[in-house]
Structure 1
Amino acid sequence: MIQSLLRKWNLSRLKDKKYLYLFGEEPKDEYVCLDCETTGLNPKKDEILSIGAVLIKENRIIMRKTFNVFVKPSKNVTAESIKIHQIRPIDLENAITPKEAILELLEFIGSRPIVGYYIKFDMAIISKYTKQIIGVKIPNRMIEVSSMYFRTRHRHSEYEFVDLKFDTIMKTLNIPELGKHDALNDAIMTAMMFLKLREMTPAKSTFYEG
């Protein structure tokens, strides 16, 4: 009920009816897995540097349907942040504007649910841009792979620690590592996690969030 009201309120704030498709019916058994590289971990003040995404359809990762862009920041990236995201100034020479990147991303996503690892952060920072551009937060439903993974762990008590680090989940699920950790590779690896975990948690209600 609350989600329905929030969705209606969000829809009422949409600036351009061209983007009504974001609120449309979800395509059957289709998802978009995405990952963002950013200047930091504060969605309110930090910026997106790159976005990688891939389409999942009927238990398959559609590698011919990928999205991979670099995004121009408003100021130069710092040497300290480069150590984290590994994106150098030379990588951003042909980057596109945030508006171009976000509008292309929305077209790629459509009304599909969005899968990710700690996806609430990615959705929060993307929504910072969509609110400026089209007036609303991105309305798509979220699916969090770390929550799916958590539910597959057998614990002796509810207080037992579960390691939810990306690399730990990869290793436990025997997912191959795809070279360097960039936005597109991380999106593809997260998509592989999702498909494997979905086999282990077939009740869809156990892993949907958002």
Structure 2
Amino acid sequence: MFNKFLKNWNRKKLKDKKYDFLFDEPLNNEYVCLDCETTGLSPRKDEILSIGAVHIKDNKVIMRETFNIFVKPSKNISAESIKIHHIRPIDLENAVSPKKAILKLLDFIGSRPIVGYYIKFDIAMISKYTKQYIGINLPNESIEVSSMFFKSKKKTSEYEFIDLKFDTIMKELDIPSLGKHDALNDAIMTSMMFLKLRNLTPAKTTFYTS
């Protein structure tokens, strides 16, 4: 009940009714998995440099339906930042404006639930821009693969440590590595995690509202 009220209240704040489709009922068994490379880990002060996303439908990663875009930052990226995201100034020569990137992303996402690894951070980063451009935070439901992995593990006690690092989950699920620090590759690998985990624990898939 509260989630429905929150959704309707958020919908009323939408500045551009063209994006009303974000609030539609999502199609059954369709998701979008996304990943962002950013200048840092603060949604408040850092910026998105690239976004990769892919559609998931009927237990398949739809490789013909991918989204991969570089985003022009407001200032030069630092050497320290490059060590983290591995995106160089030359990679951003043909980058598009944040507004163009985000609005194209919204068309790609639609009303689908968003799958990701520590996805709340990515959604917080994207919402910083959507708030500015269309007046609202990204309203889509989200699914966290690290939570799915945690729930899939049989623990001997409630105090047992479960390693939730990306590489650990990849290894345990026998997912092939496509290369790190590439937003689209990360989104594809996370999609494969999601599908394996959903088959392991179909009743435990958890949805979060942003």
What is the TM-score of this pair, normalised by structure 1? 0.98
Could you say which residue in structure 2 is the equivalent of 1:88?
Answer: 88
8 Å contact kept, 2:37–2:181: no
**Matches for 1:54-93 after TM superposition, within 5 Å:** 54-93=54-93
Could you say which residue in structure 1 is the equivalent of 2:206?
Answer: 207
Deviation at 1:42, TM superposition (A): 0.4
Question: Which amino acid in 2 is paired with 1:43?
Answer: P
The whole-number CA distance in structure 1 between the counterparts of 2:10 and 2:207 is: 20
What SS does the aligned partner of 1:190 have? helix
In the alignment, structure 1 segments of 5+ residues that lack a partner are: none
Question: Which amino acid in 1 is paired with 2:207?
Answer: Y
Kindly tell me the number of residue pairs found equivalent between the two proteins. Answer: 209
Q: Please give the per-residue CA displacement for 1:114-146, whole angstroms capped at 9, x wherever unaligned.
A: 000000000001000000000000100000000
Instruction: Say if 2:174 is the partner of 1:174.
Output: yes
Could you say which residue in structure 1 is the equivalent of 2:165?
Answer: 165
Deviation at 1:179, TM superposition (A): 2.4
Point out the more displaced range, 60-69 or 180-189: 180-189
What SS does the aligned partner of 1:54 have? strand
Could you say which residue in structure 2 is the equivalent of 1:52?
Answer: 52
The whole-number CA distance in structure 1 between the counterparts of 2:161 and 2:108 is: 37
Q: Please give the per-residue CA displacement for 1:151-197, whole angstroms capped at 9, x wherever unaligned.
A: 01111111111100000000000000002331000000000000000
Could you say which residue in structure 2 is the equivalent of 1:142?
Answer: 142
The whole-number CA distance in structure 1 between the counterparts of 2:101 and 2:140 is: 17
The whole-number CA distance in structure 2 between the counterparts of 1:207 and 1:171 is: 22
Q: CA RMSD in A?
A: 0.8
Deviation at 1:202, TM superposition (A): 1.1
Deviation at 1:3, TM superposition (A): 1.5
Identity of aligned residues (%): 72
**Matches for 1:33-48 after TM superposition, within 5 Å:** 33-48=33-48
What is the TM-score of this pair, normalised by structure 2? 0.98
What SS does the aligned partner of 1:28 have? coil
Structure 1 segments of 4 or more deviating over 3 A? none
Could you say which residue in structure 2 is the equivalent of 1:99?
Answer: 99
In the alignment, structure 2 segments of 5+ residues that lack a partner are: none
The whole-number CA distance in structure 1 between the counterparts of 2:181 and 2:171 is: 15
Could you say which residue in structure 1 is the equivalent of 2:20?
Answer: 20
What SS does the aligned partner of 2:18 have? helix
The whole-number CA distance in structure 2 between the counterparts of 1:115 and 1:36 is: 12
